[in-house]
Amino acid sequence: MTAANLSHRPVQDSDLSKRTPAAGPVLSRDTLALSGGLLVDPATKAIAPNISMSVNNVLIPGDGAFSADGVDDLTALPFLYARWTNPTVRQLEQRLAALEDADDALATATGVAAIAATFLTFLKKGDHLLLSDVCYAGANELARRILPDYGIEVTPVNMSRPEDVAAAFRPNTRLVHCESPCNPILRLTDLADIAELAHRHGALMSVDSTLATPVATQPLSLGADLVIHSLTKFINGHGDALGGVVCGRKDLVEKIRSRAGVYLGASMPAMNAWLIMRGIDTLFPRLRTISETAMQVATFLQRHPAVTAVTYPGLASHPQHDLAKRQMAVFGGIVTFRVKEPARMASQLAERLKVAHYAFSLGHQRSIVVLLDTEEMMTTTYQLAGDQLDDYRRFAGDGVFRLSVGLEAPGDLIADLDQAFSS
CA–centroid distance for 231 within its chain: 6
CA 91 to chain centre: 18
Instruction: Give the CA angle between residues 174, 198, 378 to the nearest 5°.
Output: 75
Note the residue count of the chain: 423
Q: Model confidence at 17, in pLDDT bands (50, 70, 90)?
A: very low
DSSP conformational letter for 56? B
pLDDT bracket for residue 24 (50, 70, 90): low
Quick check: 155 pLDDT over 90?
Answer: yes
Give the CA count within 13 Å in the CB-facing half-sphere of 254: 16
pLDDT, mean of residues 309-334: 98
Q: Which is more confidently placed, 262 or 189? A: 189
Whether the predicted pLDDT of 69 surpasses 90: no
CATH 3.40.30.10, domain 29-60+70-278, yes or no: no
Please name the amino acid found at residue 125. Answer: K
* 283-421: CATH, from 3.40.190.80, 3.40.50.1110, 3.90.1150.10, 3.40.50.300: 3.90.1150.10
392 within 8 A of 384, measured Cβ to Cβ: yes
In the DSSP assignment, the letter for residue 202 is T
> Looking at residues 166-195, what average pLDDT do you find?
98
Quick one: pLDDT at residue 25?
65
Rounded distance between C-alpha atoms, residue 229 and residue 214, angstroms: 9
| Tens-place pLDDT, residues 279-305 | 999 999 999 999 999 999 999 999 999
Q: What is the mean pLDDT of the chain?
A: 91
Q: What is the pLDDT of residues 112-123, one digit of tens each?
A: 999 999 999 999
On whether the CB atoms of residues 52 and 15 are closer than 8 A, the answer is: no
**Per-residue pLDDT for 417 more than 80?**
yes
Helix (H/G/I), strand (E/B), else coil: 131: strand
Instruction: Give the pLDDT score at 11.
Output: 37
Contact status, residue 123 vs residue 131, Cβ threshold 8 Å: no
Tell me: pLDDT of 412 over 80. yes
Cis omega (within 30 of 0) for bond into 410: no
pLDDT at 9 over 60: no
Q: Tell me the mean pLDDT in the region 136-143.
A: 97
Query: pLDDT digit string (tens) for 381-392?
Result: 999 999 999 999
Is a pLDDT exceeding 70 seen at residue 20?
no
Instruction: Report the run of H or E that residue 34 belongs to, with start and end.
Output: helix 29-35
Distance set, CA 98 to CA 55, 288, 303, 371 (Å): 26, 19, 41, 36
Check whether 307 has a pLDDT greater than 80. yes
What angle, 0 to 180 degrees and rounded to 10, lies between the N-to-C axes of helices 270-280 and 87-99?
A: 30
Confidence at residue 393, expressed as pLDDT on a 0 to 100 scale: 97
- Domain limits, the chain: 29-60+70-278, 283-421
What value does the mean pLDDT take over residues 256-273? 92
For residues 258 and 57, what is the distance between their CA atoms, to the nearest angstrom?
Answer: 19
